[in-house]
Structures are given as structure tokens and as C-alpha cells.
Amino acid sequence: MADQTLSFLEFTEFNLKGVLLESFETTTAEFNDRHSYLIDYLSNSEVGAKSILIEHEYVDGDFLDDYAHYYVKCKKPYSRFCKRASFFKDVNATELEAQFASYLAGKADADEMISALGEKYLGFTIIKPLPTTVIGKTSIVPYRNSKVRGEDETGQRSIRCLRPYTATILGIPFKVESLAYIEQDRVIAACATSALWSAFQKTAYEFGYRIPTLYQITDLATMYSTTNRPIPSSGLEDPQICQAIKGIGLEPEYLEILDPARNYKNLLLANSYAYLRSGLPVIFLVLVTGMGGHAITVTGYRLREKGQIFNEVELANLKLPKGFKLKGSRIEAFYSHDDQIGPFCKDMVELAHEIRDEGGAQVVKCFPQLVGTWKDGQKQNIPLVPDVMVVPVYHKIRVPFSTVLKHAGRMDGILKAHYPGIDIEWDIFLSSVNAYKNEMSRRHDVPTDIRKILLESSHPRFIWRLRAFSSDIEVMEILADATDMELSFQVYRVSIFDTTLREFMVENKAALISYRQNDYFAKLLLELIW
């Protein structure tokens, strides 16, 4: 009886390649690098997949939508049923099958199964009934030493763009914190569609919107297209990507990193950090050397111990105080969902030097590039050059990073001019009021009077946090209203945590204001000191 009940389930040791090849009769030639990456990722010691539970005749909502709009209309009879492969660590296939058989025999309940297997659950992947692009919705754990909340640790992955997923197997809800990845099929979805789909997994969840399917994203993006055929999809242009974001009720924060002459125009690292640190995925539109354009969904980063790979502020020629430092500019690697590679893949940040001829003179162009995941036939790196970044944000988040950066620059200039010897690094990122108060309720390094006021005060729903660190100690925090107008003074609170600095600023407040009479916003900043 137990065997009949478990007939739609299959338990096997971790051999994902065999599962893929056997499932849909794909040939070895069709087994691609994306499949190999997923196998290597799951078998890595930091994930440690040991067994697979396969559910046959699984109905996946995302694929069913694609099936209804495209595959069902093909003459070839594609199946509408998928398979779902769930991965477990620290338990072999025989033990896993025995535990499920015991559960069905009434010897264990769902809570006991969760207690026994919940911590061993690594997530799942949907296997689609297609010839080659068989990897559907995939939600698997990030590497176990990743930082997913709290303060960053230098040299360690920070992957915060995660959300909970639940896979219910025989009534047992197995949960995993992840961000879903999907392989493009080049019919319903091209790379930009897959990138948007992964980003929407978090932003729609975070802001309370329905997550669209691949077909719906392509449909929204190409609604006003007059040149390209939407299905089969050959890719999306920048305006179409923004249209898809608007189509689900969010707004695209669109930022050009390079100008047409390939000059470094805006801060790639610090801008990306400002959103990734808050848990919002960032879409990079990159130029693949020698191949054309591509889109990836950035989910995390890793910070250098000290110093920057290159000075972003000087390279972008921003008008900020000399020696201005940003924590976000210390990013040395990004982690992204790349539909041509796999989930959570790493690219190291390097500074590219390109010599170009302009008007008969040779000019050196410097800009960041990403290396590590894309390889040529000789296994040499193919650089990715970030050209544009796009962030799907809630429509009430109206103030961009570049605006609040100027407020940090003003305060940095004041401190350097009037408080000799101080060396500040600014940690600037977006936050919700709930996340901010939750963090502040657990902090004991903030003076009691300041902490009390910050917890009791009314804050905007979304805020920019401008944290000033000196010798790795937070000495000041500036809060700015992210829902305000850009042409306004968004700062509403300045809190000084360092006792000595606070006494100095309060005692010299009037004098400092008189020094800054010609800078109206600097004057307003100083007036908020208490």
C-alpha cells in the first residue's frame, strides 16, 4: 500500500545530471553549462545536497501559463506536466524514503517531519518538459556562510534579496529562503524577461504586488512595440524593460553607468549597494565583450577589507569633498542570477582601461567590468561591462541615491573643515521604517536618549540612512525621507552617537551655521543637530 501511495514520488541519491537526462531523453550534447553549474552549486560543500525527492506529474503555475499561451498551440504534443526535484542534505535517499513512508503510515505527523527534515531542506527546481531549456523555477539556498541580515562582514557574501518559499510535499510545508531563478527558453522569455522575473520575485513580494509570469512580463514589455515580434521573444530593449516594471505597478529607477562615449557617468558600486543592502534586487544591463547586450539580476555583493578597487567619486567627477569615502564603493564582487549561467553566480569587479582614438588623440577610458562567470572556448574570461542599472521600486520611493549623496557630502565637508583628524566613511542605503525600528530596538550601542526618540518618532514609510563611521564606529546617522520630492530638503533627523563629537557640534552649532550661510541646505542640516 505504501509503495502505491508513493508511486508518484521518486527518491534518489544526488545525481541531478542523471535525473535531467532520464526525465526527458535529452542527449549528452544538449546537457549545457547551466545544468552543470546547478549541479556543481548544489554539490558544493557549502550546500551539500545528498539526496533528491522527485515529484512526477507536477503542475507548475509559471510553466502552465507559458504552456497555455504558446506550447499547447504547437503541433508537437508538449506535456503540461513538469517534475519538481527537492534537495536534501545530511540524509540519503533510502533514509528519506523511509521517513516519508513512516509519515504516510501514521507513525509521524507533519510537525515531526519538519523537525526531522526541515533544516535539511535545500530548496527545489522545476524540470520542464522541453527539449533543452528544462530548468524552470528554481529556489535553492544561498551558500551557508552568506550574510542575509544584520551588519555586513568584510570578505563575506552579503545576499539580502531573499524571500520565503514553501514547497508542500504530501501536506508537509518545507520552507526555504531564496530568490527564484529560471532558465530562459528563448521562446516566451529572453534574458531581460528572466532577469525581470527574478527581480519581481522579491519586489512584488516586498511591496505587495502579484508576481507576473514570464509570458505576462513579455506581454507587458512589448505592449507598445511596433517593430519586434513579442513571441517568440528575441529580447527586450531598455524602454521595454521599464514598461514591464511600470506594468505591474512599480517604478523603474533607471541609471546610466556609462555615457555614449563610454565615460564613467554614475556610481555603479555605491548605487547598487544602496539598494542591495536593503534587499532590493538590481538589474544590470551589460555589454558582453564581443557578443552584445545581456541582462542579469544582481542579488548580493562582497566588500573588501579596506580601501577601494578604484575611486568611484573621482572617476565619475562628482563634486564631493576631497577624500570622500563610501562603504558601497568597497564592493569587490557581485552575486547574480544569470540565465546563461545559473543562480548566485559570482563576478569579480575590475577596473577596465580602454584606449580609444578621439579626434586624432588617444584617450584612456576607465570603467568597471565584471569577470568570472562568462568564459570563451579556451576558458578565458569574457568581461561584462555594466552599461545601465535598473531597480524596480515602490512608486512612493521618489528620491534617488544621487540626491541624498549630496547631503552626506555637505556634512562630510563640515566635519573635515571644523573637526580636525576625523576620517569618515559613509554607509548609505535605503530602508523601510519597520526594518529601521526593528534594528534600532536591538541596538545597545546607541545612546539611550537618542534610541528612545528614534523609536518613538514617526518616520516616513521609506527612508535613506546615511551612517557616518570613524574607525569602524558609527558616530552619526542622518535620516532622509525617500518619499519626499527630489527638489526639496529630504533630511528630517541628524543623530550624533559619539559623545565627544556631539558635544562639539552642539556647542559650536551657531558658529557652524554662520560659516555655512551661503549653503542653504548645509545650514538646514546643522539646525537639525541637537
Predicted confidence at residue 399, as pLDDT, reads 97
Angle value at C-alpha 180, between 344 and 27, nearest 5 degrees: 80
> Residue 77: how many CB atoms within 10 A of its CB?
8
Residues 380 and 425 placed together within one structural domain of the fold: no
For the chain, the first-to-last Cα distance in angstroms comes to 74
Q: Are residues 485 and 419 in the same domain?
A: yes
In angstroms, the Cα distances linking 80 to 26, 53, 71, 215, 242 are 18, 20, 9, 15, 31
- Same domain for 113 and 31? yes
Instruction: For residue 301, give the CATH number of its domain.
Output: 3.90.70
Per-residue pLDDT reduced to its tens digit, 47-68: 999 999 999 999 999 899 888 8
Same domain, 355 and 423: no
CA gap 33, 19 in Å, rounded: 16
Closest by CA to 302, choosing from 267, 345, 260, 361, is: 345
Beta strands in 359-408 (DSSP E): 361-371, 384-393
33 and 77, same domain (yes or no):
yes
Sign of CA dihedral 11, 15, 17, 22: negative
Grid cell digits, residue 129: 518538459
> What pLDDT sits at residue 422?
92
pLDDT confidence tier of residue 24, bands split at 50, 70 and 90: low
Domain check: are 259 and 383 in the same one? yes
Q: What is the pLDDT of residues 276-331, one digit of tens each?
A: 999 999 999 999 987 889 999 999 999 998 888 899 999 999 999 999 999 999 99
Q: Are both 386 and 405 inside the same structural domain?
A: no
Same domain, 469 and 350: no
Whether residue 405 sits in one domain with residue 360: no
Final residue in a domain of this structure, among 393, 411, 428? 393
The verdict on residue 192 lying in a domain is no
pLDDT exceeds 90 at position 71: no
State the chain's mean pLDDT as an integer: 91
Please check whether residue 347 lies inside any domain of the structure. yes
| pLDDT classification of 415: cutoffs 50, 70, 90 | very high
Q: Identify whether 217 is part of a domain.
A: no
227: in domain:
no
Q: How confident is the model at residue 519 (pLDDT cuts 50, 70, 90)?
A: confident
Lowest mean pLDDT segment, chosen from 25-29, 265-269, 377-381, 429-433 = 25-29
Q: At CA 385, angle to CA 384 and CA 391, rounded to 5?
A: 100
Q: Would you state the pLDDT for residue 177?
A: 97
Q: Is the pLDDT of residue 78 over 90?
A: no
Does residue 483 form part of some domain? yes
Examine the domain organization and report whether 44 and 140 are in the same domain: yes
Task: Report in angstroms the alpha-carbon separations of 75 from 72, 79, 187, 232, 287.
Answer: 8, 12, 15, 16, 37
Domain end among 129, 160, 178 = 178
d(CA 198, CA 207): 15
Res. 230: pLDDT tops 60: no
pLDDT at 42: 96
Residue 26 has pLDDT above 70, yes or no: no
pLDDT grade for 337, boundaries at 50, 70 and 90: very high
Per the domain annotation, does 240 fall within a domain?
no
How far is 295 from 235, CA to CA, in rounded Å?
Answer: 10
Question: 55 lies in a domain?
Answer: yes
Q: Which of 285, 401, 267, 381 is nearest to 336 (CA)?
A: 285
Contact 255, 268 (CB under 8 A): no
Q: What is the pLDDT of residue 226?
A: 54
- pLDDT at position 439, please? 96
Q: Which of 186, 187, 198, 182 has the alpha carbon at shortest distance from 137?
A: 182
What is residue 228's predicted lDDT score, i.e. its pLDDT? 62
pLDDT at residue 22 in the model: 75
Q: Are residues 266 and 378 in the same domain?
A: yes
Which of 331, 365, 393 delimits the end of a domain? 393
Give the position of cell 505504501.
2
Summarised one tens digit per residue, pLDDT across range 343-370 is 999 999 999 998 887 777 888 889 999 9
Packed helices 238-247 and 191-207: angle between N→C axes, nearest 10 degrees: 30
| φ/ψ of residue 178, rounded to 5 | -160, -175
- DSSP letter assigned to residue 211: P
Rounded to whole angstroms, the Cα distance separating 326 from 330 reads 7
Average pLDDT over residues 79-91: 95
Query: Does 271 lie in the same domain as 136?
Result: no
Query: Using one digit for the tens of pLDDT, what is the confidence trace for 443-461?
Result: 999 999 999 999 999 999 9
pLDDT at 221: 87
For 167-185, write each residue's pLDDT tens digit.
999 999 999 999 999 987 6
Which domain does 423 fall in, by range? 401-527
Average confidence (pLDDT) over 144-159: 93
**Cβ-contact 272, 286 below 8 angstroms:** no
Query: What is the total count of domains within the chain?
Result: 3
